[in-house]
A and B are shown apart, each in its own frame.
Chain A
Amino acid sequence: MAELLIEADRIERQYWRDLWSYRELFFFFAWRDLLVRYKQTVVGVSWSLIRPLLTVLVLTVVFGRLGKMPAGGLPYPLLVFCGMLPWQFFSSAISESGNSLVAHGNMISKVYFPRLVITVSSVMTSFVDFLISALFLLVLMAWYRFLPPVQVVFLPFFVLLAVGASLGTGVWIAALMVEYRDFRFIVPFVVQFGLYLSPVGFQSSLVPDRFRLLYSLNPIVGIIDGFRWCILGAKSPLYLPGFAISVVEVTLLVASGIWYFRRTERTFADVI
């Protein structure tokens, strides 16, 4: 019979095995969140379309029409949508997953399961919304009779990068929020300002060259640029140094996030 050893100051050897044996719980939590979200709403799932749609509309009007930002010959709504797709995913993922542990405080102090499941599954929930929005992008592209270039095959890589950025940030915030509820106020702030600091409503090529590298320190810049490059093609070229910075940052975020989460996970029940 398998023996479980619980000892002070030691992370269980069976951590990853545990996570694997609870793999179904990832889906159960995500399924629950999706199921619950639109109960007692009138238009139901349509909300996950209405939200990005209105945002695109507003950004197109503000940046494209009023601000008269150049689109490089591309339809402006398409340009905005390509930026908004990863941004909406990232922002909703960090809001949801950042708050996930505190929201499940009662469960954490009553039942054992790997805590990472909660945080990861809330990123998964946001990912489902992302996929729904992505479908709408296809509709928009058909409307403009726009055919994606060959580099669209690299899109999954940038999606992965967006998932990494969301997961890494989300895991960090979730673990920190257990002790420091300050993040409850910080996150909405980041989300609000991030929309303007990231190239969602405009192209990052508008940023002067000498600031471009500095601007690329925001890991979302590389991801949005990547999405545009894959979907819209050569008219929205990839800025390689920025892209490299993104990859390195996301990798560091994920690795350090999981490290910190595991380090603090064992005492969540005592602190929460």
Chain B
Amino acid sequence: MPQESEFAISIENVGKKYTIGHQRASGDGMRHVIEGAMRAPIAWLRRRQEQKIQQVDFWALKDVSIQINQGEVVGLLGRNGAGKSTLLKLLSRITVPTEGRIRIRGRVASLLEVGTGFHPELTGRENIFLNGAILGMRRTEIIRKFDEIVAFSEIEEFIDTPVKRYSSGMYVRLAFAVAAHLDPEILIVDEVLAVGDTSFQKKCLAKMVEFARAGKTILFVSHNLDAVRGLCQRGIWMKDGHVYKDGGADDIIEEYFNTVTVKDSKSLSNPDYEFAIERVVLRNGFGEECNHILPGEDLTVEIRYDAQKRIDQPYVTIGIVGVGGSCLTANMLLDGRRPDELLGKGKLSCRFKGLPLLPQRYIVKISVRTNNGDEMIVNYQDAASFSVVGDLSDYGFRGEFMSRAATSTPVVIPYEWELPDGQVAAISLAESNRLVRKLNGESLVSSNL
């Protein structure tokens, strides 16, 4: 138990209750309240009580106790609805707990959604001042940091242009730049990295690493496990409004990664572009819909989309993420083989040839960008999952520690050992290799007979 004096955030038995159906119950608004009270006061009171019973209480958080020390960098993990966002809202004072108490030492900056309070009619310059003030900066402080903010956002030329003329990438850059210069003791970050282009995301992460190095306390929520792994020392896994596991970030992430279940019927959409990924289908080397493949087998990732509005110059990126982080990618931003447009319902697929992956669990992530890669339409961190299953001994593996394959770096391209005695050992996860060895094995057995 850390010493009492060290904590930055102390959450003690906190619960947050939402009453579902409350607004439905009095859906007629005030007319109902007034009219009801006037017509028959007693009946109205009685009905009110009945209504209270009918309302359903929902505990978004229950009995949560967490102590975060000064200088700790903590990653919050959990599925949607696990209570992460509610917890962050409580810590940012946006709403209050129903029970328990929270003690916070130091200035808190919370980036729950960057750019809140930006006014589209105002220029970048004006919005820096407005947004800074909303986030709790003094005018003098903003003036002092103004040049730094503008430099960080990389929008110098457009600083006197109304932000309604900005691309969404520029908008996010400016918004993050303001928030990043708040200079808090405690930083609360929720999924801000889900927006913006990759290089800017890197920059944001670098800024957060800088914060962490300076001994600030950071509480970080992201579905991007790579980012959590890179930044955090401690992981807290939330489930159904409770703290499910709390421990070293690497251990928690690994365990979380292995239990995350991905429903492949899930769809992801972006209403701004009227674009949706309706379904992501994985197929094995025979083209069968399948969630497990052999090492060295082909894997096809098929994306079924619905583009109500035309998406010009779409760039699709598919990544395959293993327990240790991203390991493979197919990226139109690099190869440039993008379609001219996406319109209506359709499908697009990518066949990964002979995936040289060890038997582990993998997650497929998909993003679609447009406008020269500047605007992210969807960024789907867990689009689908699959397992590579197979017996490595089929591929000529014969180590005593083969069970370590489950946690090893997953990509194994063909390689050759050349030993001091001149012997050459070729190792490959290629499926053909496996078949050859199987055949050899069989023929060996038959020749022995």
Contacts and interface: CB of A to CB of B under 8 A. Distances in A.
A111 B93 CA distance: 8
Given A35-B122, A112-B110, A8 B98 contact: yes
A1 B186 CA distance: 12
Interface residues of A, number: 35
Given A24-B133, A35-B122, A35-B126, A180 B29 contact: yes
A154 interface: no
Given A3-B103, A8-B96, A182 B130 contact: no
Most chain B beta-carbon neighbours within 10 Å: one of A28, A266, A267: A28
Most chain B beta-carbon neighbours within 10 Å: one of A6, A25, A36, A269: A6
Nearest to A113: B134
Interface in B75-130: 89-90, 92-106, 108, 110, 112-113, 116-117, 119, 121-122, 126, 129-130
B103 A8 contact: no
Given A4-B105, A36-B119, A266 B96 contact: yes
Contacts of A270: 18, 95
Given A39-B121, A111-B112, A7 B97 contact: yes
A108 B110 CA distance: 13
A5 B103 contact: yes
A25 B94 contact: no
A109 B92 CA distance: 10
B117 A24 contact: no
Contact of A112 (B93, B122, B133): B93
B87 to A, nearest CB: 12
A107 B114 CA distance: 11
B30 A180 contact: yes
Contacts of B130: 28, 32
Nearest to B138: A24
B328 interface: no
A113 B31 CA distance: 32
A112 B92 contact: yes
A269 B116 contact: no
B99 A8 contact: yes
Contacts of A112: 92-94, 110
A8 B116 contact: no
Contacts, number: 100
B268 interface: no
Contacts of B230: none
Contact of A6 (B90, B129, B134): B90
B97 A107 contact: no
Contacts of B126: 32, 35
B185 interface: yes
Contacts of A271: 23
Contacts of A107: 116-117, 134
B48 to A, nearest CB: 15
B95 A2 contact: no
Contacts of A113: 134, 136
Contacts of B100: 7-8
A51 interface: no
B6 to A, nearest CB: 11
A218 B23 CA distance: 33
A127 B112 CA distance: 33
A205 interface: no
B245 interface: no
A6 B103 CA distance: 6
A263 interface: no
Given A8-B96, A32-B122, A24 B139 contact: yes
B181 to A, nearest CB: 16
Contacts of A21: 136
B137 to A, nearest CB: 9
Interface string A1-30: 111111110000000000001101100100
A111 B92 contact: yes
Contact of B117 (A6, A7, A39, A111): A111
A35 B133 CA distance: 16
Given A113-B134, A182-B29, A266-B95, A7 B101 contact: yes
B313 to A, nearest CB: 30
A110 interface: yes
A110 B113 contact: yes
Contacts of A106: 116
A40 B120 CA distance: 13
Interface in A96-150: 106-113
A226 B90 CA distance: 47
Given A6-B104, A270-B18, A109 B134 contact: no
A113 B93 CA distance: 8
A235 interface: no
Contacts of A65: none
Contacts of A1: 105-106, 185
A24 to B, nearest CB: 5
B273 to A, nearest CB: 20
9 contacts: A2-B106, A3-B105, A8-B99, A24-B138, A40-B121, A113-B136, A182-B30, A267-B95, A269-B95
Given A4-B104, A107-B116, A113-B134, 19 more contacts: A1-B185, A2-B106, A3-B103, A4-B108, A6-B90, A7-B97, A21-B136, A24-B138, A28-B130, A36-B119, A39-B121, A111-B112, A111-B116, A112-B94, A113-B136, A183-B30, A266-B95, A269-B94, A270-B95
